[in-house]
Amino acid sequence: EVQLLESGGGLVQPGGSLRLSCAASGFTFSSYAMTWVRQAPGKGLEWVSAISGSGGNTYYADSVKGRFAISRDNSKNTLYLQMNSLRAEDTAVYYCAKDGRVTLDLYYLDYWGQGTLVTVSS
């Protein structure tokens, strides 16, 4: 059974940093690209960042480029999102999600974690 469990969310002041983690199990982690998607309170889904299975390719939304860094440790089956220079508009539930296919491209997201809430406020 595929399981994705996010952690690391919390309250942080504007300009601060936070690192999210996503522990994966139930599939060959290193074979799949992984994605972070966020959802601001009462709003829709926003694609944030993705990383290839090997970790060699990373992708970002313009809204977070230069501030966020995605990475993975395939030996620990864990995905990360390092968030720096946080702003109020980064407040959201952050979901990690597994890509639906074993390829170098990005596809649909077939499994999602339950999310972790990040609140940026003074």
Partner 1 sequence: EIVMTQSPATLSVSPGERATLSCRASQSISSNLAWYQQKSGQAPRLLIYGASTRATGIPARFSGSGSGTEFTLTISSLQSEDFAVYYCQQYNNWPPCTFGQGTKLEIK
Asked if 19 contacts 10 with a C-beta cutoff of 8 angstroms, the reply is no
Nearer to partner 1, 30 or 45 (CB): 45
Paired with 80 in beta bridges are 21, 71
CA distances from 117 to 4, 98, 114 (A): 15, 19, 10
What is the smallest separation between the CB atom of 28 and partner 1, expressed in angstroms?
17
| Residues within the interface to partner 1 (CB under 8 A) | 35, 37, 44-47, 50, 59-62, 95, 100, 105-115
Kindly tell me which of 27 and 112 has the beta carbon lying closer to partner 1: 112
Nearest residue (CB) to partner 1, 80 versus 95: 95
Least gap, CB of 13 to partner 1 (angstroms) = 27
Query: Would you tell me how many other CB atoms lie within 10 Å of the CB of residue 43?
Result: 10
Taking the complex as a whole, the smallest distance from the CB of residue 48 to partner 1 amounts, in Å, to 8
Question: Which pair of tokens denotes residue 29?
Answer: 């982690």
